[in-house]
Structure 1
Amino acid sequence: MAIQQDNDNGLLLVGTAYARNRRVSGSQRENVGNMVQLQISAKSETKTRTSRQKETAGNALDSITIKQASEVKVASDTFNKLTLGMALLGKSVELKKESETITDEVVEVNQKGVWLSLVHRNIDASTVSVKNDTSQPVEKEDFEINETLGWIRIKESCENVNASSAIEVSYKTKAGGGIRIEASTESDYDLEIWLDGFNQASQKNFILHIPSMVIAPTSEIDWLGDDFAKAEFGGTLVLADGYKVPYIYEEFNA
């Protein structure tokens, strides 16, 4: 039976994308966030046998089009655990949500007036207390804390801490957790993608399912840019096991 087209509609699409990392066993489907580009390009190569005969020179005697793997471009301006990790070619892990209590961490004060590292970062400055090498308390006005970096600085004006001595620092980290990404540990990603979409021209819902796309970042991140950053990726659609096509589009009339 011939397919009948009821309406002359264009494509003006929006959609919510979900991704699963195919290389992680048991990985869950994660919301990609604000995906601003999902472009699939069909590729082919044409081989032509051209006449070199006197009467027909330049004409095609045979022409064959050979299908090639489809290429894909993806972009998102949402930076969550998934997309930021991918943009940095790294693996993302979640940080502990619970606050940690650290008691009497020993810090060597080689010189006063300089920043010194604590073991932990994201600390609560209001919880910090310091003792000198004779276990006497150091007044709060005699030291500074960089909460995010987890640094402490003994002021040069501090009278009961000497250079080349040790201090003991007690503090708590902030609750709430976060993410940690170790960059440049991966070369690319193999993702399964679902796009829960809506065609604003036809007012119809659709699904775009890509069982396997192998992509890598193609853009840089300007950590101090004055506009919203965007992560861009490029790669190839791969024929996944159990599928006969690289992607599937389904549209629903109701």
Structure 2
Amino acid sequence: MSETVTESYIGSGIMYVDGRDVGNASGVKIDIEQETKSQPNYRGGGGNSAEVTKIKSVKLSATMNDFSNENMALGLRGKVEVVAAGAVDDEPLTAVLDGLCDTTKMIDTSIAPVLKNEAGTTTYDVDVDYIVSAGGIRPLSTGAMTEGQAIKVSYTSKAGNALQALVESGKEVKVVIDGINDATGKPWTLKFYKWKPSPTSSLDLIGDDFGSFDIEGGVLADASIVATGKSKFFVRSAA
């Protein structure tokens, strides 16, 4: 009599997209949609005389817990641009008292900006006439500026990157999950040859709990795989 082997499973792992570690990802799952065509049995007794089930689509979805621009670009069909630090001189703004005058670039708040009136004859005092944040300048109604006044600010922009959302048509990426079965300590891997993420339906950007967002996309057939018995979609290897 053959021995029955059981293996409990608790999955964890690191998800890589085109070799890039996406950070903490949960809810990674595969959904396979099937389509069944049946031929009824007309010879009496009911039922079917033949049945064929075909794979209609294969989808891979994941919940991203790291809000990097690179991860968000996957879910927003975006492009990430590197932004270098640099000096910005006399950027024109219009004062909105107790509101935000947003600047073209993010302000490096560790370096004090210089805010003046349009003529450059008056220099305003930070935390007295205005408050500075990464997003721009907030003129105070208790300060020396007036509503709608033309002002100009010189500042140092902060280095980082910028996500240009919804500018790409969607690209196909390779996904590898380097996993471990926490119940047994055994390693496993999943390789998806071609994954095309769709735009995410929602993003919760402000809240009182840790944020996350979902990305789903189709797993496409890799036409370069022609060997008999080899999957064109994905392969799972386990110890």
The 3 A distance-change label for structure 1 pair 128 and 205 is: same
Q: Is the 8 A contact 1:50 1:57 kept in 2?
A: no
Query: Quick check: which has more Rg, 1 or 2?
Result: 1
Q: Distance in 2 between matches of 1:215 and 1:163?
A: 46
Give 2:68's aligned amino acid. Answer: N
Q: Calculate percent identity across the aligned residue pairs.
A: 19
Tell me how far 1:210 sits from its aligned partner: 0.7
Q: Distance in 2 between matches of 1:9 and 1:106?
A: 64
Q: Is the 8 A contact 1:211 1:247 kept in 2?
A: yes
What does 1:5-20 correspond to in 2, within 5 Å? 7-20=5-18
| Aligned partner of 2:34 among 34, 40, 44 | 44
The 3 A distance-change label for structure 1 pair 195 and 64 is: same
Q: Distance in 2 between matches of 1:232 and 1:112?
A: 38
TM-score normalised to structure 1 length: 0.74
Q: Distance in 2 between matches of 1:134 and 1:235?
A: 54
Q: Which residue of structure 1 aligns with residue 136 of structure 2?
A: 150
Q: Which residue of structure 1 aligns with residue 234 of structure 2?
A: 247
Give 1:233's aligned amino acid. Answer: I
Residue by residue, what CA displacement relative to the aligned partner does 1:193-226 show, whole Å, maximum 9, x if unpaired? Answer: 0111111233211111111112214441122233
The 3 A distance-change label for structure 1 pair 201 and 128 is: closer
| Alignment of 1:124 onto 2:113 | no
Q: Distance in 2 between matches of 1:130 and 1:156?
A: 16
Q: Which residue of structure 1 aligns with residue 172 of structure 2?
A: 190
* Structure 1: unaligned runs, 5 residues or longer: 21-28
| Alignment of 1:64 onto 2:46 | no
Q: Which residue of structure 1 aligns with residue 194 of structure 2?
A: 212
Q: Distance in 2 between matches of 1:60 and 1:163?
A: 78
Q: Which residue of structure 1 aligns with residue 67 of structure 2?
A: 79
Q: Which residue of structure 2 aligns with residue 234 of structure 1?
A: 216
Q: Distance in 2 between matches of 1:78 and 1:136?
A: 46
Q: Is the 8 A contact 2:100 2:139 kept in 1?
A: yes
Q: Which residue of structure 1 aligns with residue 154 of structure 2?
A: 170
Tell me how far 1:12 sits from its aligned partner: 1.6
Say how many residue pairs are matched.
Answer: 232
RMSD over equivalenced CA pairs, Å? 3.3
TM-score normalised to structure 2 length: 0.78
* Structure 2: unaligned runs, 5 residues or longer: none
Please state whether the residue corresponding to 1:33 is helix, strand or coil: coil
